[in-house]
Chain A
């Protein structure tokens, strides 16, 4: 994802929420996992990742806690809050609706 703004607005939020819903992770871990699962199709740069994490945290959807990471240094681990879990459901539903709508348009033409 070299130019994330090209993505549909809010998609990065959805990806982050979905990623840490499986397991709390630090910023780099989130970027890595999105890249792996998308088979290197989506690459999240720190220039978009950290503002997005900041925004989600300010919205109260995720929370950050300092913890020790695998390399022995301390890192901020992000996890979903209860409100974040509800938000993820909303965004997933929204995504389904949107992609279905886009699919319909594409198949028609």
Chain B
């Protein structure tokens, strides 16, 4: 055994088993004595023993030899710190609650950031994974086409394999009914590329890709357990997906739910089944052949030893070759991005959002530390005589300073533990609040979260007790401290206390301004945009494509459903629409009738930039009243605008002004060349409606065209019903009415319009609520810090105040004097916070709408609220000073 490890073992033994070490020594000495007695007689042995010193002295000398005194002192100090904390339960509990909350909030946010931004998807082995993005210059384009994927796969050498994946909802029909299940259409090498195995049976293989051999499926472990009762006999059974029978060949390894964070697939099906299972919305295009269908994410694992740079160089060449061979395509370049991801994941936006929340939580933790730091300094003021005595009795400055750090460390350590314990539940709670939270996230990692929480706890310890410890360590002369009750040493402490108070007020202001801006955004974003009856408008999404309806059948189905629902008791108005925020609307190029270009030109690369692409919604006549969209001119749709009648449309004011800036839009004709249903593609404008922000309530309203759903039947529609029933009851009615018409059709989403609005406003809503909560907490903590500090000032200045009283000062004058002490740090804090907010407000820009970062109302309200709270807390302390009876004050010294 090397010498150092033998030494370490002995030290640990002495520390951890002191009783046992002592007993062994006693046994040794007894044995010694017994042997001497046997040799020389008992009396002589005792005499010799006494000559060697008494037993306790021997024990003590031996203990000194064990060299663990430093550690034992430390343990002693830690115990003393704990006792001191227990003696001040009010302070300790406040500190624990405040710091515990701050650390838990920061740790939970970090856990979320870690899971969403840093850690690999569940079940996927991480190293060397990458995905491709396609570009036209700097513009990021959507997904790849299948022929593009085939080209990249055939021409690339830098990747072990390149796999394709695409997300779809499929209806799974079983004895229990029809259920919509998130699925991924994947290439045969998908599982091998991701390094995911099968828990049961096999994964999909390259042999499953060719048409004819591809009627197979793999399910996730979750699906197998929750829907198939974890029955091993499920293998080989048929799964009916979108009314096509597939054979279940395997269950994927536990945890794995696909390659997309936002999706969370339960069903994996060969990609070549797309034309059968998921014909693309009526365009009639075969997306396995067409380069105009963008629907595929390309994923790969870099071949061993190939750096990302080299893969990028090759991919650039391949993209250029594809672009040269197909000049009509818009995509010219491709970029290799490390890690999994897809166009729809939008990691950049999530990353910005989560980092912002993390920053907010860290601000709260910093704020809490500052507030507790000022309380520590106040306690130090109360303890200065004790400290001076300790120093005078010969305690090392380092050891006395350490006492403060140890007290803070206990609080921060407990807070850190609380943070680790709460991080998982808090992260889950936040995700549950988010209506569009990523479905496929790894569980919060205890190791990462613990490392973060305890790292932060160390920082907080220093922030809380650093100032007192430093003041003691540097401190003035001990004798002076003893004589004057520490008044000489107080100046430095008071400076530190004022600085900490300013920091608290500043951080609280920062949080309150952020909360205010987010709240104003919510107000501005919803003002006039959300129908008053939103909470009583129930939405349900249907897709007749799931039952392979023709357009005429689809139109007939929706007509009957609408009629049946309107006849139900409790349902007032029922509307249909193809588009509902926050999901993106269908967009199409429109032209003044007669100016539309040929199809070749339309498909050319320059096309998208040149032509107007408004949102196009298929709606029923009731849409405008249910969604409270005012008619500005002309007429709304009527029952007469049906299939066979002249094509009509309504447009919003913005589009009318853009297309016909100098004349009336009503009666003009609009061409929508992609419309290929019946009777040409020219629509007469019959009505103009107000602008409405659709895709995001945080963006300017788009150009919008509305066409009667009866003239242009669409498969996927939202039913929007105003009802007096409760949401669940209303949805049950809709489900039963749908089922009575066609039991094969599932209701895909069901919620109220108010919930739908919350989905699109989720991020500013989260910022407003969290920043609001943090801001109010911070203001409360600042108030506690101020009160604690000033109250301590009053006690320290008792003598001075008493003399002033005796000399004729009024109690009111004393109170004003104490209050005056608080004004400077509060003012400095407000200024500091204002400067920080001015620098940081720009970071909030992506989430602001209808409010400037320097919105005077918000700034004024936040500063006023904070100043009022701070002054109220100071006033409480000042009143204490005013109540001071003169004789007590003087006797106190």
Instruction: List chain A positions with a Cβ less than 8 A from chain B.
Output: 2, 26-28, 31, 45-48, 50-51, 54-55, 57-60, 63, 69, 71, 73, 75-76, 81, 83
Contact = CB atoms under 8 A, between A and B. Distances in A.
Contact of B35 (A2, A51, A71): A71
Interface stretch (B47-55, B193-201, B834-842): B47-55
B67 interface: yes
A62 B425 CA distance: 53
A26 B1 CA distance: 21
A83 B53 CA distance: 31
Contact of A47 (B7, B28, B57, B65): B57
B52 A60 contact: no
A46 B58 contact: yes
Contact of A50 (B3, B25, B35): B25
Nearest to B61: A51
Contacts of A57: 10
Main secondary structure of the interface of B (DSSP, over half): helix
20 contacts: A26-B31, A27-B32, A46-B58, A47-B52, A47-B57, A47-B58, A50-B25, A50-B28, A51-B58, A51-B61, A54-B65, A55-B65, A58-B7, A58-B66, A60-B4, A60-B7, A63-B6, A71-B35, A75-B31, A76-B24
Interface string B1-30: 101101100110000000000001100110
A50 B62 contact: yes
**Which residue of A2, A26, A28 has the most chain B CB atoms within 10 A of its CB atom?**
A28
Contacts of A71: 35, 38
Given A47-B51, A58-B11, A60-B7, 18 more contacts: A26-B31, A28-B32, A45-B52, A46-B49, A46-B58, A47-B53, A50-B62, A54-B25, A54-B62, A54-B66, A58-B65, A60-B3, A63-B6, A71-B35, A73-B31, A75-B28, A76-B24, A81-B3
A86 to B, nearest CB: 10
B61 to A, nearest CB: 4
B36 interface: yes
Contacts of A76: 24, 28
A58 B67 contact: yes
Contacts of B66: 54, 58
Contacts of B7: 58-60
Contact of B51 (A2, A26, A69): A2
Contacts of A50: 25, 28-29, 58, 62
A28 B49 CA distance: 12
Contact of B52 (A26, A48, A59): A48
Nearest to B25: A50
A47 B35 CA distance: 16
A28 B31 contact: yes
Contacts of B65: 51, 54-55, 58
A25 to B, nearest CB: 12
A11 to B, nearest CB: 17
Most chain A CB within 10 A, of B35, B57, B58, B67, is at B35
Given A28-B32, A50-B25, A45 B51 contact: yes
B52 A83 contact: no
B70 to A, nearest CB: 14
Contact of B62 (A45, A51, A81): A51
B49 to A, nearest CB: 7
A57 B35 CA distance: 23
Interface in B590-615: none
B67 to A, nearest CB: 6
A82 to B, nearest CB: 8
A81 B61 CA distance: 23
Given A45-B52, A55-B65, A27 B28 contact: yes
A26 B36 CA distance: 13
A75 B67 CA distance: 24
Interface in B48-91: 48-49, 51-53, 57-58, 61-62, 64-67
A75 B48 CA distance: 21
**Residue among A26, A31, A60 with max Cβ neighbours from chain B (10 Å):** A60
Nearest to A59: B7
A49 B281 CA distance: 95
Contact of B48 (A26, A27, A45, A54): A45
A28 B62 contact: no
Contacts of A45: 48, 51-53
Given A51-B58, A75-B31, A28 B24 contact: no
Contacts of B61: 47, 51
Contacts of A27: 28, 31-32
Nearest to B51: A45
